[in-house]
Amino acid sequence: MPLTPALRGTALLNNALLNKGTAFTEAERREYGLEGLLPTQVETLDRQVERIHRHLEAKPSNLERYIYLSGLRDQNQTLFYRVLMSNPAQFVPIVYAPTLAAVCQQFSHIYRRPRGMYISLDMRGRIRDVLRNWPTENVRFLCVTTGGRILGLGDIGVNGMGIPIGKLDLYTACGAVPPEVLLPVQLDIGTTNSALRADPLYLGLRREPPPLEELDGFVEEFVSAVNDVFPDCCLHFEDWKGTDALHYLDKYRNTALCYNDDIQGTAAVTLAGLITALKIKNETLAQQRFLFLGAGSSGLGTADMLISALKQEGISAQEAIERITLMDVNGLLETSRTDLSPQQKRYAKAMPPSRDLLATIKAFKPTVLIGVSTCGGAFTQEVVETMSALNERPIIFPLSLPQKNAECTAEQAYEWSQGQALFAAGLQFPEVEMNGRTFYPGQANNFYIFPALGLAVYATCPKHITDDMVIETARALADQVDPASRERGRLFPPQSDILDVSITSAARIAEFIFDQGAATVERPKDIRAWIESLTYSPRYAD
C-alpha cells in the first residue's frame, strides 16, 4: 500500500497498514512530518525483525509472546507478518494452537484493542448495515465462530474470538493470502458457560444461546448479509458446537461458498497422513478398517471424507461405511441406540452395545485408530498393544487438543508398539529416541490444509468448495512427503517449509478446479507462476 500525504506525523505512525517505524527513510520523515518523532537511525525491515526476536526471547511464556505479537500487529502489520513468515514453525504454536487455548480462556481479561467484527443477536434485522462498518469492501475470507466448541474448552462464547483471528493470521503466514482480504467474525449468541456469564470482565452477551429455530434465522440473515456486502467472500466456519457445525455446513455447502475447518480441514489433514502412512505400508485406503474414538463433528466429518476418498478408489458408499466404526461418549454407534443424530445413524453397526474401546478393537479389528474424543489417555498400553498384535504397522492418530486431551503421547505409542506405530497427533510431540532409533511424530495440523485451499480459492474464485477439492488438497500435501522422509516414518512435510508446501498445494488445487470447470476466472498458461504472483509478501511500500 503506497504512502499517502493525507496521513502525517503521529497519525501515520498509528496506522498499522502504513507504519514503517524506524524504517522510514530520511526523505519520508521530512515529507510526512515524522522528523523528531523517531530515533535517528534508519533501519531495514530485517533489522527490525531481529529486534522483535530479541524481545520475544525475553518473554517468560508463549502467552506473553502472543500478547506482544498482537500489539505488534496493531502497530505495524508488515513487520508482524514478516516476523511470522520468518519462521512459521516457531510462531504458529504461539499465534495459534496450543497457545490459543490459554488465550481464549483469558480473552476478555487480556483484551487490548478491537480486531475483526462482533455480530450479536441484538443486531438482528440490521446485520447488513453493521457489516458495512468494516472499512474494506473486498473481503474474500470471513472466518466466523460462535465460540461453542473451542480447542477442547467447550463453550466459551466471545472468548472464542481468538480462534478466527489466529486462523486468518495463518492464511497469510502459511499461505501468503493477502491480509487485507481477511475478516475475523464472532457471532455473539450468548454462552452456556455460567461462570463466564458471571465474570464481570466477560465481553459477550450474558445469556443462554437461543433455540435452534431462532439461531437458524440469525445465521440465515448473517449468511445472506455477507453474500450481499462481500459478494466474493468465502465463509470459513470455525469451532461451532458440533451439532451446529454439521447442521450449517450441510445447509450452506451447496448454496454458498463455504468451508468448515473442524470438519473438512481435520478430515483432509487426517486423510493426507493416512495416504502417506499407506505409502509406507504399500497399501490402499480400500484395504483399511477405520475405528474412531469420537463421533462429533470432527469424527463424522473425517468419516464422511473417507467415504468420498474410498469412492474415488471404486468402493461403493455402503462398502465404505462397512469399513468405518465410531464410538462416542455413550459407546459404540450401533443400531439399538436411540440417541444417535441423523449423521451418526448411517454408521450404526449391527453389533452388541459396548462402551469398551479394547473390546471393540478386538471385535472390529481396525487397521487405523483415530482419536477425536478429547478423552486424554484413552489409548492405553493395552489398546496400543492390541492394535500392534492385529497389525504389523498400526496407524494410530490421537488428534485431540490440547495436550491434556491427547488420547496418547508419541512416546507411549512408539514404546507400546515396539516402534512399529505410524503416528500423528493433533499437536507436535518431540522426537522420540528408543533402542538407538529416532522416531519423528507427525502433527496432523490443519494449517497444512486451509491456507493452501484458501490460496487456491482466492485465485480461482469457485462458487462452491466441494469434497473433491478438499480431497485433492490432502493428496497434494501427501505427495510432498518424499521417499526419504517416509523411510524415517515422517507423515507430513517439514513445518519449516509450510509456505512453499502451501503454494505447491495451491497450484495443484487450482489446476484441479480449472479441470473441473469450477473456476470463474480465465485459466493462465503457468498456474504455479500465476499463484505466486497473487501471494502476499511482507515488504514496506516505497
Active-site annotation, residues:
96, 167
Using alpha carbons, select from 165, 155, 149 the residue that is nearest to residue 207: 155
Task: Tabulate helix, strand, coil % of the chain (nearest 5).
Answer: 50, 10, 40
First to last CA, the chain: 9
* Residue 171: C-alpha distances to residues 156, 250, 445 (Å): 24, 24, 13
Q: Look at the block and give the residue holding cell 537511525.
A: 41
Structure-derived torsion over alpha carbons of residues 80, 86, 92, 96, reported in degrees to the nearest 10: 10
| Whether the Cβ atoms of residue 348 and residue 337 lie closer than 8 Å to each other | yes
Cell of 400: 485431540
Give dist(CA 408, CA 341) in Å, integer: 28
**Do the annotations mark residue 149 as ligand-binding?**
yes
Directed axis angle between helix 62-75 and helix 88-95, to 10°? 100
Q: Is 238 annotated as a binding residue?
A: yes
- Residue 275 neighbours by CB under 8 Å, 6+ apart: 285, 474, 475, 478
Alpha helices in 479-523 (DSSP H): 483-487, 498-515
Question: Residue 406 corresponds to which cell in the numbers above?
Answer: 491427547
> How far is Cα 324 from Cα 400, in angstroms, rounded to an integer?
19
Helix-then-strand count for the chain, H and E: 25, 14
Query: What's the CA dihedral at 194, 202, 149, 61 to 10 degrees?
Result: -120
Which residue type is seen at 192?
T
For residue 70, count other CB atoms closer than 10 A to its CB.
Answer: 22
Residue 216 is labelled as binding a ligand: no
Q: Which residues are annotated as a binding site for a divalent metal cation?
A: 238-239, 262
Q: Which residues are annotated as a binding site?
A: 149, 238-239, 262, 445
Q: Which residues are annotated as a binding site for (S)-malate?
A: 149, 445
